[in-house]
């Protein structure tokens, strides 16, 4: 999902990928947070070895996280917020040292908002396999070299197992709510199934119960865009002699993803057939405005993300299936005891509404009945990040139940 919803305007004068690169300077080999970088608002906690669903372990893992608010003496007001594919622990707050972009949910989390930091202790970890402080491919392995392509395959369940260890380490046995959208909502479902005693409420925003063939296919072409970039070097690009990383492949993957996250109606309305500069693109000298929009955001993305992490997290999303080994999706969802909110978006062409309909129909304790809360929006999948009023009200309903 596109969590950079507050920076969608295309800067005037950007007419090509090369121009975007020149304005922003050459991209680094990786946009990952690295040891020695400014810490910002991050905290870190070691969680030890993480057993993996496919066998083996990830040794000596750590989780980077941020918190807001105060934990009550009874320790009963904690809310876990889980981010989507390209998000991280910086849910709210400005850009600055250690944080290349402002927080991704400022209209929902904060004092007096739906997830009220004056009332709740809000905890947001960076996912295992991510690139903003938690152990991931850009982290150093025991041999002092980045994990790179040696980083193990992770499933959504592996990442939740790490989150459970993280919660235990920081001393929280039960969350008042576990909330997430897109990839984060996949984690939410696994929390409710794997650790029902640790979850009072859940919010599943814009995610399916299992990744479909169509979703896997959309993800697969993004993976291939990165792997076929000559600068990918089999994942060992961190200290490339020429300083080049797979920025073209990662930017292309990001452009593809943005077409999943938004809608044809929005792009047509915003850009029509306009172009950047005074040159007609039909004559070969100009560029359509929508192309420049995708260029700019693709290139910007390479400055805050890591290509290997993108592969690890995308493949984890492909693994998502709450019914695996549990008798199928319906049987797995029927075991969920938590008070539940399921929210879907009518224009979502990535995680389509039928997925949320399936989840809502199977849950026993949904605060809105057997149908998902429906968001009407032109923004597609990204609406859960943008439509603050309806999303916020749905979350208020859940938290008051």
List 348, 366, 368, 377, catalytic entry: 348
* Secondary structure of residue 245 in the 3-state scheme: coil
List 182, 292, 309, 340, catalytic entry: 182
Say if CB 395 and CB 114 are below 8 A apart: yes
Q: Which residues contact 230 (CB under 8 A, 6 or more apart)?
A: none
List 340, 366, 381, 382, catalytic entry: 381
* Beta-sheet strands, E only, within 108-263: 109-110, 115-116, 121-125, 177-181, 201-205
134's tokens: 């938690």
Catalytic site residue 381?
Answer: yes
Query: Residue 375's closest CA among 363, 383, 364, 385?
Result: 383
**Neighbour count for residue 221 (Cβ, 10 Å):** 12
Catalytic site residue 83?
Answer: no
Distances (CA, A) of 3 to 141, 257, 297, 344, 381: 29, 11, 11, 17, 10
Whole-angstrom Cα distance, residue 280 to residue 67? 50
Q: Which residue has the tokens 């149908």?
A: 371
- The count of C-alpha atoms lying within 13 angstroms of the C-alpha of 238, restricted to the half-sphere facing its C-beta, is 20
Q: What are phi and psi of 180, to 5 degrees?
A: -165, 155
Catalytic residues, by residue number, are 182, 348, 381
């Amino acid at each position: 999902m596109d969590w950079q919803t507050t920076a969608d305007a295309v800067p005037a004068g950007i007419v090509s990928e090369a121009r975007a690169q020149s304005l922003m300077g050459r991209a680094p080999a990786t946009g990952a947070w690295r040891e020695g970088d400014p810490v910002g608002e991050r905290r870190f906690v070691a969680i030890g070895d993480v057993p993996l669903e496919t066998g083996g372990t990830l040794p000596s893992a750590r989780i980077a996280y941020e918190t807001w608010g105060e934990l009550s003496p009874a320790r009963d007001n904690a809310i876990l917020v889980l981010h989507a594919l390209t998000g991280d622990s910086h849910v709210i707050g400005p850009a600055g040292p250690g944080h290349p972009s402002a927080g991704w949910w400022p209209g929902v989390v904060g004092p007096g908002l739906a997830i009220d930091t004056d009332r709740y202790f809000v905890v947001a970890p960076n996912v295992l396999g991510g690139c903003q402080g938690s152990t991931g491919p850009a982290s150093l392995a025991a041999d002092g070299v980045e994990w790179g392509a040696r980083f193990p395959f992770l499933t959504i369940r592996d990442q939740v197992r790490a989150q459970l260890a993280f919660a235990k380490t920081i001393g929280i046995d039960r969350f008042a709510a576990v909330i997430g959208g897109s990839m984060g909502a996949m984690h939410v479902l696994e929390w409710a199934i794997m650790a029902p005693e640790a979850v009072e409420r859940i919010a599943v925003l814009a995610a399916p119960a299992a990744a479909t063939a169509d979703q896997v296919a959309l993800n697969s072409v993004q993976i291939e865009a990165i792997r076929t970039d000559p600068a990918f070097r089999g994942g060992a690009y961190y200290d490339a002699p020429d300083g080049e990383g797979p920025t073209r492949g990662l930017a292309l993957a990001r452009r593809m993803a943005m077409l999943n996250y938004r809608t044809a109606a929005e792009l047509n309305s915003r850009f029509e057939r306009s172009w950047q500069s005074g040159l007609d693109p039909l004559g070969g000298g100009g560029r359509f405005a929508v192309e420049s929009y995708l260029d700019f955001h693709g290139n910007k993305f390479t400055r805050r993300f890591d290509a290997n992490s993108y592969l690890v997290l995308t493949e984890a999303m492909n693994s998502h299936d709450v019914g695996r080994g549990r008798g199928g999706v319906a049987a797995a969802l029927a075991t969920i005891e938590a008070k539940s909110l399921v929210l879907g978006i009518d224009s979502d062409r990535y995680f389509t509404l039928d997925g949320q309909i399936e989840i809502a129909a199977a849950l026993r304790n949904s605060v809105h009945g057997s149908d998902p809360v429906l968001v009407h929006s032109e923004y597609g999948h990204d609406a859960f990040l943008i439509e603050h009023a309806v999303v916020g009200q749905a979350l208020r309903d859940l938290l008051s139940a």
